[in-house]
């Protein structure tokens, strides 16, 4: 499958690793000067997703919106790492950069570039009525220079439960700039699928909405929250939440099961 994204000025080609056209395509790309990236990802059937203990939620990076400290969202840093900001606790509504609001048009759900989960009001209502555990909601605002903050018909889905540290048997997760707190600066590699693993005992008391103890992504923090680029935890949900998104016709998300292991 080839998808042209005019806004990002790129083309995405998706092939099964067993497709006989894949080595031909790779040989052709190696002969061009243009930049290209080979990304390997797992794909699962609905039956596999339904049977999963938890699902990692990720989103199309070309459709993300910008929000967070630099847009005016506030945080309590009293229990956060002073070096990287891992553990920062959001204390205000989510404030979005107005320049990216067009990416919400025609969508029921989206994520910020730091994996804050956003849903429209109708989907927020469906989640609340479902009795899903471990979630709360915050308002979502757009920051306009002259008009101030304008509330949007969206809600941020927040997790109230943090999982224990993941098993070291997780793959596709690497500490590229380790922080002394041991909690942040994790990232993935395009050529290695992210496969989070947890001990069976650590997922015995999960909620429908959870976040990981580890925080991943780029970090820029010198103590000034208003100019910070915080890392972010992985968002992990049960198949119950996945079904609600499916029933609402939500697209643009990837759902990947965690692995449950008995040993460390």
Domain boundaries, the chain: 1-38, 46-261
Task: Name the band, by pLDDT with cuts 50, 70 and 90, for residue 2.
Answer: very low
Report the pLDDT averaged over residues 60-81. 92
Which pLDDT score, from 0 to 100, does residue 3 have? 43
> CA dist 63 to 104, 106, 194, 213, Å?
8, 11, 20, 26
Report the pLDDT averaged over residues 17-33. 74
Q: Tokens 């699902």, residue?
A: 55
Q: What would the pLDDT profile of 108-146 be if each residue is shown by its tens digit?
A: 999 999 999 999 999 999 999 999 999 999 999 998 876
State the greatest distance between any 2 C-alpha atoms of the chain, in Å, as a whole number. Answer: 56
Least confident of 82-91, 158-167, 177-186, 225-234: 177-186
Contact 173, 216 (CB under 8 A): yes
Which pLDDT score, from 0 to 100, does residue 38 have? 67
Which pLDDT score, from 0 to 100, does residue 61 have? 79
Q: Is residue 83 over pLDDT 90?
A: yes
Rounded to whole angstroms, the Cα distance separating 226 from 70 reads 5
Q: Is residue 103 over pLDDT 90?
A: yes
Contact 77, 88 (CB under 8 A): yes
Contacts of 222 (CB under 8 A, 6+ apart): none
SS (H, E, C) 154-215: EEEEEECCECCCCCCCCECCEECCCCCCCCCCEECECCECCECEEEHHHHCCCCCEEEEEEE
Q: What would the pLDDT profile of 145-201 be if each residue is shown by its tens digit?
A: 767 789 999 999 999 999 999 999 998 888 777 899 999 988 777 777 889 999 999
Which pLDDT score, from 0 to 100, does residue 262 have? 80
Report the pLDDT averaged over residues 234-256. 96
């Amino acid at each position: 499958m080839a998808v042209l994204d005019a806004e990002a000025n790129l083309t995405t080609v998706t092939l099964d690793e067993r497709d006989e056209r894949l080595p031909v395509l790779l040989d052709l790309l190696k002969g061009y000067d243009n930049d290209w990236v080979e990304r390997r990802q797992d794909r699962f059937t609905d039956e596999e997703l339904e049977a999963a203990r938890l699902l990692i939620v990720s989103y199309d990076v070309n459709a993300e919106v910008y929000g967070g400290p630099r847009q005016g969202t506030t945080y309590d840093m009293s229990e956060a790492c002073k070096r990287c900001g891992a553990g920062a606790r959001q204390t205000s509504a989510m404030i979005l950069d107005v320049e990216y609001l067009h990416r919400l048009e025609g969508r029921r759900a989206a994520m910020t570039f730091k994996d804050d989960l956003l849903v429209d009001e109708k989907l927020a209502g469906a989640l609340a009525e479902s009795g899903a555990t471990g979630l709360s909601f915050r308002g979502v605002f757009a920051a306009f220079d002259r008009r101030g903050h304008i509330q949007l018909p969206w809600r941020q889905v927040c997790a109230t439960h943090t999982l224990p540290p993941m098993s070291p048997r997780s793959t596709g997760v690497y500490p590229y700039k380790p922080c002394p707190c041991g909690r942040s600066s994790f990232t993935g590699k395009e050529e290695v699928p992210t496969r989070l693993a947890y001990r069976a005992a650590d997922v015995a008391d999960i909620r429908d909405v959870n976040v990981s103890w580890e925080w991943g992504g780029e970090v820029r923090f010198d103590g000034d929250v208003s100019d910070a680029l915080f890392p972010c935890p992985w968002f992990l949900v049960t198949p119950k939440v996945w079904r609600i998104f499916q029933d609402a016709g939500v697209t643009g998300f990837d759902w990947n099961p965690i692995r449950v292991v008995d040993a460390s």
